[in-house]
Amino acid sequence: MTPRRRRMLWIGLLLLGIGLAAFLGLRAFQKNLLYFYTPSQVASGEAPHGYSFRVGGLVVKGSVKRGDGVKVTFDLTDGPATVGVSYEGILPDLFREGQGIIAIGQLDNNGVFVASEVLAKHDENYMPPEVGEALKKNGQIEPNYKDYQK
Amino acid sequence: MIPELGQLALTLALLTALLQAVLPLVGAHQGRTLWMAAARPAARAQSFFLLIAMLALALCFINNDFSVEYVARGSNTALPLYYRIAAVWGAHEGSMLLWVFILGLWTLAVSVRSRSLNEAMLARVLGIMGLVSVGMLTFILFTSNPFTRLIPAPVDGNDLNPLLQDFGMTIHPPMLYMGYVGLSVAFSFALAALLGGSLDAAWARWTRPWTLVAWVFLTLGITLGSWWAYYELGWGGWWFWDPVENASFMPWLVATALLHSLAMTEKRGAFKTWTVLLALFAFSLSLLGTFLVRSGVLTSVHAFASDPTRGLFILIFLLLVVGGSLGVYAWRAPAIRDHARYALFSRENLLLLNNIMLVTAAASILLGTLYPLMLDALGMGKISVGSPYFSSVFAPIMAPIFLLAGLSPLVGWRDASAVAVFRRLRWLFGACFAAGAGLTLLCFEPNDYATMAGLSTALWLSATCLFSFYNRVRVRKTLLEGLRAQSPSIYGMTLAHFAAAVFLVGTVLSNHYSVEKNVRLAIGEAVDLGGYTFKFEGVSEVEGPNYRALEGNFQVYHGASRAAELHPQKRVYTVQRKPMTEAAIDPGLFRDLYVALGEKLDDRAWSVRVYYKPFIRWIWLGGVLMAVAGVLAACDRRYRLAGERAK
């Protein structure tokens, strides 16, 4: 095998590998990109129906209600708007009323966000950056927001 | 006094690192023997100063010196001594010090073990390692100094993050950093060889053991991290495609490719430029990993302490390292000639294919990890890439790698006959896939093609391992003689591939046959899962050194007999007032039983996670076996003899 032919093979294989990866990657990408929306965006209808996305905000105080088994509902707010969330499962340790959290799931026909996953950060002083920014934009800065950023 | 001593040691380390970088590199360039000779003493002095700095910080923690801000933030008088020492690398500043301290250890090791390297090569290697050290030490001294005083000192400290108060987490960072930083040796050897124009088989033989040892640590570090996430995060997963996990996995994939490529360069003199490029990439990805974890650009379970200004520094450092090394590569690589000749169907090309696959896998992870960051930086919206992306991209790329790993050792170097290989292996191949399908039909679900494919591939990989090993042993007169005649690297390779099969079995079976239930359980109630009955007997209070906990009591029955007694805890750490879930696990080679307490729903009822996880131990067993295999291969006498001969 001459060096020239080998080089061509090399390049061919490389292109094939990259092509395959790019194809699989982009296909999987489209299906699995999770966009972030604030409760305001959800309320104004910007968030998609029938697709998964993430929504983040503060858990409204007094809104957490238990249902049968491990069902739970609560409201998420970013100040101007609120979205209802329902979840069947176990909430993370640091889930608290008033705490910033992120939920992953889809909107149902009644406008309730059905979460498949609820994330609260392991550090209770930690605010998910998306939530912090959205709150800041709406002028809803927590009194000790600076601590959250640490 | 001690913090100031540490500070002084760090400053001296920076100065000696500068000496270690500049004198030998310039000396090697201009052929000044005396300047080159400065490399070894400077390297040792630097390691010594780094050791002093590390000890000083450890002493501050042991003495509960809360006048040091870093100690006050991450320790507490109630924290047991063992965790106080581990708290040294519990947050950003200390872990950066650990990083550079480990670089000092590697530098020392190179300066001791490389006596037979020629003067100029050693000078260049140590010089480049010195440059890396200068970068990191500057970073520590100017942006993240662990010795900064806090006046007035608080009475007590803020305690270590409870998540990190755990055995697995105390040794995970040192292991991972040993791997990350160890790749800097391969990086320095590659750059030194490029600069010196001596890219030959001896260079590859030199680089291999260092790369192997770094790879062993990286493997152990990743395995430990995965194990920790499994039992400590309390939701039973072993890999989350979390950006920080990806950051450690990318260098591993590239380092794995590098090991295979180095073997080719050493044995056959092939793919020299490619091997060099891999060595440069492996360490660059390690630095990228450090950047991702420490800069605060990521939303991740690992983003404990982060600060964007530090990110900028590391980013610039990263650009300098990647840009600089690629610049040297572009400048010197065209002069390198490969003289190896081989046919289309040969082990060389199969290994090349393996390399391309591994690098493609790393690139696809890089895409998924960096794409959200780029979009965010460009103001195009906030997205995250879900784990389904990684799973769906990764499986099709990894499957051929496993198949090839079985095939390659049975294909000859240079020129092999595809027909002969096919004739020789068709029955074995058929038998493995028939057995895989049969096993799935008998023990699992009949329509589960993914498990069928996974088990068949694992069988194929382990069978070919045995077969190729058997072929090597068979040519000797007796079995004992045959076993003795095999070099440690052959044992290493065989075991590593076998370990990959073990890992694959664990992944496939635990992913497909885990059963998980989140249920509400009142005291006295029971739940059935995977053939086991979990009975909730009650909750009692227990007290730890720095936490209080509620402890559940679960009796697990398998039919009529009792299989296990599990005590999951819900802890509250008294200083940080943080709740923590401690899962209780009954481990087994073939299944884990996993119980974690959720929340207290009312006086008598709790929400409870109950998991049945078949074969999950095989995942970490695979990782540990791989590491053992790496140690075996690194012990090969050939590397030591090669050193003697090169003298």
Contact B392 A69 (CB under 8 A): no
- Three-point CA angle B429, B434, B440, nearest 5°: 130
Locus of tokens 């939701």: B235
The predicted pLDDT at position B195 comes to 92
**Is pLDDT larger for residue A20 or for residue B474?**
B474
The predicted pLDDT at position A134 comes to 64
Omega before B152 within 30 of 0, i.e. cis: yes
What does pLDDT average to over chain B? 88
C-beta separation of B173 from B152 below 8 A: no
- B622 within some domain: no
Question: How far apart (Å, rounded) are the C-alpha atoms in residues B129 and B134?
Answer: 9
pLDDT (mean) for A46-53 = 84
Residue in A with minimal Cα distance to B384: A34
Instruction: Examine the pLDDT at B294 and tell me if it is beyond 80.
Output: no
Least confident of B313-317, B364-368, B457-461: B313-317
State how far residue A110 is from chain B, nearest Cα, in angstroms: 25
Same-domain status, B541 and B456: no
- B210 within some domain: yes
pLDDT (mean) for B574-600 = 88
Contact A90 B518 (CB under 8 A): yes
Question: How far apart (Å, rounded) are the C-alpha atoms in residues B610 and B597?
Answer: 9
The predicted pLDDT at position B646 comes to 44
pLDDT (mean) for A49-56 = 85
Reported as a pLDDT band with limits 50, 70 and 90, residue B260 is very high
Enclosing domain of residue B84: 1-165
Same-domain status, B366 and B233: yes
Per residue in B484-518, pLDDT tens? 888 898 999 999 999 999 999 999 999 889 998 89
Same-domain status, B117 and B54: yes
- Do the interacting molecules here have an ipTM over 0.85? no
For residue A129, list chain B residues with Cβ-Cβ distance below 8 A. Answer: 299
- B628 within some domain: no
pLDDT (mean) for B576-586 = 86
Of B341, B368, B518, nearest to A70 by CB-CB distance is B518
Reported as a pLDDT band with limits 50, 70 and 90, residue B359 is very high
- Is A8 within 8 Å of chain B by CB? no
Reported as a pLDDT band with limits 50, 70 and 90, residue A83 is very high
Per residue in B61-91, pLDDT tens? 999 999 999 999 889 898 999 999 999 998 8
State how far residue B396 is from chain A, nearest Cα, in angstroms: 9
Residue in A with minimal Cα distance to B607: A70
- The CA-atom distances, in angstroms, between B42 and each of A42, B35, B210 are 61, 11, 21
Q: How many CA atoms lie within 13 A of B593 on its CB side?
A: 22
Residue in B with minimal Cα distance to A123: B304
Same-domain status, B147 and B188: no
Same-domain status, B185 and B55: no
Question: How far apart (Å, rounded) are the C-alpha atoms in residues A117 and B13?
Answer: 47
Q: Choose from A135-144, B229-238, B323-332, B336-345 the range with maximum mean pLDDT.
A: B323-332
The predicted pLDDT at position A137 comes to 62
Please tell me the total count of domains within chain B: 4
State how far residue B237 is from chain A, nearest Cα, in angstroms: 14
C-beta separation of B168 from B232 below 8 A: yes
Same-domain status, B8 and B149: yes
For residue A14, list chain B residues with Cβ-Cβ distance below 8 A. Answer: 356
- B141 within some domain: yes
For the record, the structure tokens of B124 come out as: 């260049």
- B83 within some domain: yes
The predicted pLDDT at position B402 comes to 94
State how far residue B19 is from chain A, nearest Cα, in angstroms: 37
For residue B393, list chain A residues with Cβ-Cβ distance below 8 A. Answer: 21, 24-25, 28
For residue A53, list chain B residues with Cβ-Cβ distance below 8 A. Answer: none
Of B163, B382, B607, nearest to A122 by CB-CB distance is B163
State how far residue A138 is from chain B, nearest Cα, in angstroms: 17
Same-domain status, B14 and B101: yes
Q: Angle, to 10 degrees, between the axis of helix B2-30 and the axis of helix B39-62?
A: 160
HEC secondary structure over B536-580: EEEEEEEECCCEEEEEEEEEEEECCEEEEEECCEEEEECCCCEEE
For residue A36, list chain B residues with Cβ-Cβ distance below 8 A. Answer: 381-384
Question: Quick count: other Cβ atoms within 10 Å of Cβ A10?
Answer: 16
Share above pLDDT 90 across residues of chain B, in percent, rounded to a whole number: 53
For residue A70, list chain B residues with Cβ-Cβ distance below 8 A. Answer: 518-520, 598, 607
Q: Are strands A71-77 and A53-59 parallel, antiparallel or unpaired?
A: antiparallel
Residue in B with minimal Cα distance to A134: B382
- B14 within some domain: yes
Least confident of A49-53, B291-295, B561-565, B590-594: B291-295
Helix (H, G, I), strand (E, B) or coil at B613: strand
Supply φ then ψ for residue A74, to 5 degrees: -155, 170
Supply φ then ψ for residue A87, to 5 degrees: -150, 140
Q: Best of B69, B165, B415, B578 to disrupt the A interface by mutation (most A CBs within 10 Å)?
A: B578
Q: Which residue among B165, B200, B231 closes a domain?
A: B165
C-beta separation of B171 from B615 below 8 A: no
Residue in B with minimal Cα distance to A72: B601
Burial class (CB in 10 A: 0-12, 13-18, 19+), B580: buried
Residue in A with minimal Cα distance to B233: A122
Q: Which residue among B362, B394, B416 closes a domain?
A: B416
First-last CA distance in chain B: 46
C-beta separation of B260 from B254 below 8 A: no
The predicted pLDDT at position B297 comes to 61
Q: Which residue among B395, B416, B437 closes a domain?
A: B416
Same-domain status, B452 and B357: no
Question: How far apart (Å, rounded) are the C-alpha atoms in residues B155 and B487?
Answer: 59
CB proximity under 8 Å: B 475-534 to A: 518-520
- Specify the long-range contacts of residues A132-138, CB closer than 8 Å, at least 24 apart: A132/A100, A134/A38, A134/A40, A134/A56, A134/A57, A134/A78, A135/A57, A135/A58, A135/A78, A135/A79, A135/A100, A138/A38, A138/A40, A138/A78, A138/A79, A138/A80
Residue in A with minimal Cα distance to B388: A32
Q: Best of B306, B364, B373, B374 to disrupt the A interface by mutation (most A CBs within 10 Å)?
A: B364
The predicted pLDDT at position B101 comes to 97
Instruction: Examine the pLDDT at B228 and tell me if it is beyond 50.
Output: yes
Of B367, B383, B601, nearest to A36 by CB-CB distance is B383
C-beta separation of A53 from A47 below 8 A: yes
Question: How far apart (Å, rounded) are the C-alpha atoms in residues B543 and A86?
Answer: 35
**Is pLDDT larger for residue B209 or for residue A31?**
B209
The predicted pLDDT at position B328 comes to 92
For residue B161, list chain A residues with Cβ-Cβ distance below 8 A. Answer: 122-123
Per residue in B40-68, pLDDT tens? 999 999 999 999 999 999 999 999 999 99
Residue in A with minimal Cα distance to B337: A3
Q: Is the dihedral of CA B81, B87, B89, B94 positive or negative?
A: negative
Contact A123 B352 (CB under 8 A): no
Instruction: Examine the pLDDT at B113 and tell me if it is beyond 90.
Output: no
C-beta separation of A72 from A64 below 8 A: yes
Reported as a pLDDT band with limits 50, 70 and 90, residue B393 is confident
**Is pLDDT larger for residue B36 or for residue B641?**
B36
Of A1, A29, A35, nearest to B389 by CB-CB distance is A29
- Would you mind telling me the total number of residues written for chain B in this entry? 647
Q: Best of B268, B371, B385, B393 to disrupt the A interface by mutation (most A CBs within 10 Å)?
A: B393
The predicted pLDDT at position B300 comes to 44
Residue in A with minimal Cα distance to B609: A90
Same-domain status, B603 and B491: no
State how far residue B261 is from chain A, nearest Cα, in angstroms: 14
State how far residue B286 is from chain A, nearest Cα, in angstroms: 22
Question: How far apart (Å, rounded) are the C-alpha atoms in residues B157 and B575?
Answer: 9
The predicted pLDDT at position A129 comes to 60
Of A24, A28, A36, nearest to B382 by CB-CB distance is A36
For residue B343, list chain A residues with Cβ-Cβ distance below 8 A. Answer: 1
Q: Are strands B383-385 and A100-107 parallel, antiparallel or unpaired?
A: unpaired
- Three-point CA angle B588, B593, B597, nearest 5°: 145
Closest CA to B47 of B16, B21, B18, B25: B16
For the record, the structure tokens of B245 come out as: 């996990």
For the record, the structure tokens of B471 come out as: 């072929």
- Is A20 within 8 Å of chain B by CB? yes
Same-domain status, B74 and B134: yes
- B299 within some domain: yes
Reported as a pLDDT band with limits 50, 70 and 90, residue B303 is very low
Of A24, A27, A94, nearest to B579 by CB-CB distance is A94
The predicted pLDDT at position B391 comes to 81
For the record, the structure tokens of A125 come out as: 């002083």
Same-domain status, B504 and B520: no
The predicted pLDDT at position B567 comes to 95
Contact B393 A36 (CB under 8 A): no
C-beta separation of B304 from B314 below 8 A: no
CB proximity under 8 Å: B 322-381 to A: 338, 341-344, 349, 352-353, 356-357, 359-360, 363-364, 367-368, 371, 381
Of B357, B367, B596, nearest to A25 by CB-CB distance is B367
Question: How far apart (Å, rounded) are the C-alpha atoms in residues B370 and B577?
Answer: 35
Per residue in B187-208, pLDDT tens? 999 999 999 888 888 889 889 9
- B171 within some domain: no
Least confident of A9-23, A117-131, B86-100, B545-559: A117-131
- Is B148 within 8 Å of chain A by CB? no
pLDDT (mean) for B27-50 = 93
The predicted pLDDT at position B304 comes to 39
The predicted pLDDT at position B418 comes to 82
State how far residue B397 is from chain A, nearest Cα, in angstroms: 8
DSSP character for B237? -
- Would you mind telling me the total number of residues written for chain A in this entry? 150
Same-domain status, B644 and B566: no
The predicted pLDDT at position A5 comes to 78
C-beta separation of B356 from A17 below 8 A: yes
Per residue in B429-453, pLDDT tens? 999 999 999 988 888 887 888 899 9
Contact A33 B579 (CB under 8 A): no
Q: What is the pTM of this model?
A: 0.90
**Is pLDDT larger for residue B640 or for residue A70?**
A70
Per residue in B518-551, pLDDT tens? 999 999 999 999 889 999 999 999 998 889 999 9
Number of H helices, E strands in chain B: 20, 11
Question: How far apart (Å, rounded) are the C-alpha atoms in residues B120 and B27?
Answer: 8
HEC secondary structure over A67-132: CCCCEEEEEEECCCCEEEEEEECCCCCCCCCCCEEEEEEEECCCCCEEEEEEECCCCCCCCCHHHH
pLDDT (mean) for B457-470 = 94
C-beta separation of B69 from B150 below 8 A: yes
What residue type is assigned to position A78 of the chain?
Answer: D
